[in-house]
Amino acid sequence: MFNCMLIDLKGMLTQGFKMGNAEIEPPKSISTATAVTAQIIAQVASHIYGGTTINRIDEVLAPFVTASYNKHRKTAEEWNIPDAEGYANSRTIKECYDAFQSLEYEVNTLHTANGQTPFVTFGFGLGTSWESRLIQESILRNRIAGLGKNRKTAVFPKLVFAIRDGLNHKKGDPNYDIKQLALECASKRMYPDILNYDQVVKVTGSFKTPMGCRSFLGVWENENGEQIHDGRNNLGVISLNLPRIALEAKGDEATFWKLLDERLVLARKALMTRIARLEGVKARVAPILYMEGACGVRLNADDDVSEIFKNGRASISLGYIGIHETINALFGGEHVYDNEQLRAKGIAIVERLRQAVDQWKEETGYGFSLYSTPSENLCDRFCRLDTAEFGVVPGVTDKGYYTNSFHLDVEKKVNPYDKIDFEAPYPPLANGGFICYGEYPNIQHNLKALEDVWDYSYQHVPYYGTNTPIDECYECGFTGEFECTSKGFTCPKCGNHDASRVSVTRRVCGYLGSPDARPFNAGKQEEVKRRVKHLGNGQIG
């Protein structure tokens, strides 16, 4: 079992595959294609433990929209329906919208063999055809509409919208209207996050959607020299507790570097153990992955699966947490944001981690990468362990959580542009996994302000998310931001905290979560409570 992946959906749908006792042929309509896609997601998610991503889903499924159009056009002609083209168009638009509505509902009602809803991501936005545009609109309009009678925000699939200059970035671009719809969707449902095309290519070597919430593949070419993304995967992550190393160093920088190198040796050993566990594994252990095309291959039952993970085809990642607390533990005093020398110290730590994984990659041939760990649970666990060992250390263990990877301290009040500038040096170093985001007030009536931030991010970071208050109370009708209290999340208008009568949505790490239904751990809850808005001198809000 490995971590996360990009499903080769195109290969599976065009070549057909077997699932259970059924031989699945290429679908003849978009509604059938999305129904089959839901089944693929469920099967794949049951055989891996990380996120499941469909890369460029609008382009992959576009041919099946064409098939639906042709079917409706044929019906119109057979029945002598006036304006056959108009009939076919309207029927196809309706079918596509309904197909993606059904897909969204299925994803949110499925339970995998792991006992949870599939952590699935849809990447889209680069398609230019009428069919691709229709899929993009259907995904966004369904998300805006919400789930059920209360129009609840869907947590899955995570939506990642690609922006590219000349396509949808600015006025005059042919798909600029889709970007406007994406802005509306983000203001109301937090998703989509955005992938800035040029920056993704610059940082990772080629364009692709992240696996899961933030894991990015590097460049890999097949025997024909073609760049391949779909069907590839991440084998796993081992994360370093950087604040603990700093606490052990007791403020001595030389000791910190020495201890860090020792932990890197241990981390490499752990990662190589993960790789070794896959050696000798036969394809029959997970037919959907290795025999039916999800991993982009059609192996025989007794073939060794480890061969498809070599030579950089799969990634395997070193993660890290708590740059902010590490700097505090080593140097104390001034906030890292306010001191250029301390900023450089934080970057230098991540540079050392990157040097290590590059060396491991060269020595082994495996696709080692540096990954900015989401740390939904580690933020709490590592801090608790270190508090037990070192006590309550101001600026380090006193909050009850560690800051996510390279991110700016959640309590630091800055504008969104300065936060982007602070975090921008890190994704090029940790290019195996990253995300940047901003915290905003309700911006549904100020989409231009959000677009200004998106446009600024386009020049500076590859991957950006929008956090905005979208909580809802079904008792009094309040929409906005609930208060984080000892009783959980409480409506500020009527005091309601009944989980069955509210909808609360927060970004946990790269994904959204519903803490009213699935409470966060104590550390993450505290981190969420301390988050401040990133306001731009009256420009935002």
Catalytic residue among 510, 513, 523, 536: 510
Catalytic residue among 215, 317, 467, 514: 215
**Residue 376 falls in the annotated catalytic set:** yes
Is 346 one of the catalytic residues?
no
Token pair of 380 as six digits: 């709490």
Of 3, 31, 68, 375, the catalytic one is 3
Q: Is residue 190 annotated as a catalytic residue, yes or no?
A: no
The Cα-based distances of 202 to 57, 133, 229, 515 in angstroms read 22, 26, 16, 36
Q: Could you confirm whether 510 is annotated as catalytic?
A: yes
Q: Which of 191, 320, 371, 426 is catalytic?
A: 371
Q: Is 467 a catalytic residue?
A: no
The single residue of 68, 168, 234, 317 carrying the catalytic annotation is 234
DSSP state for residue 295 in the 8-state scheme: T
Q: Annotated catalytic, 372?
A: no
- Helix ranges (H only) for 279-377 are 287-290, 323-331, 340-364
| Residue 537 region by backbone torsions, left for phi larger than 0, else alpha for psi between -120 and 50, else beta | left
CB atoms within 10 A of CB 224: 6
Are 516 and 489 a contacting pair, CB within 8 Å?
yes
90 labelled catalytic: no
Instruction: Please tell me which residue in 131, 325, 376, 439 is annotated as part of the active site.
Output: 376
Catalytic residue among 4, 96, 190, 484: 4
Catalytic residue among 5, 190, 213, 436: 213
Please say if 1 is a catalytic residue.
no
CA angle at residue 203 from 423 to 11, to 5 degrees? Answer: 125
- The neighbour count for residue 206, using CB atoms within 10 Å, is 15
Tell me how many helices (H) and strands (E) the chain has. 16, 19
Task: Name residue, tokens 């950087």.
Answer: 242
* Closest CA relative to residue 402, chosen from 493, 532, 522: 522
Angle formed by the axes of helices 242-249 and 323-331, to 10°? 10
d(CA 90, CA 76) in angstroms, rounded, equals: 12
The reply to whether 233 belongs to the active site is no
Q: Which of 375, 397, 412 is closest to 524 using CA atoms?
A: 375
CA distances from 366 to 112, 210, 266, 271, 502 (A): 30, 19, 17, 10, 47
Residues with a catalytic annotation lie at 3-4, 211, 213, 215, 234, 371, 376, 510
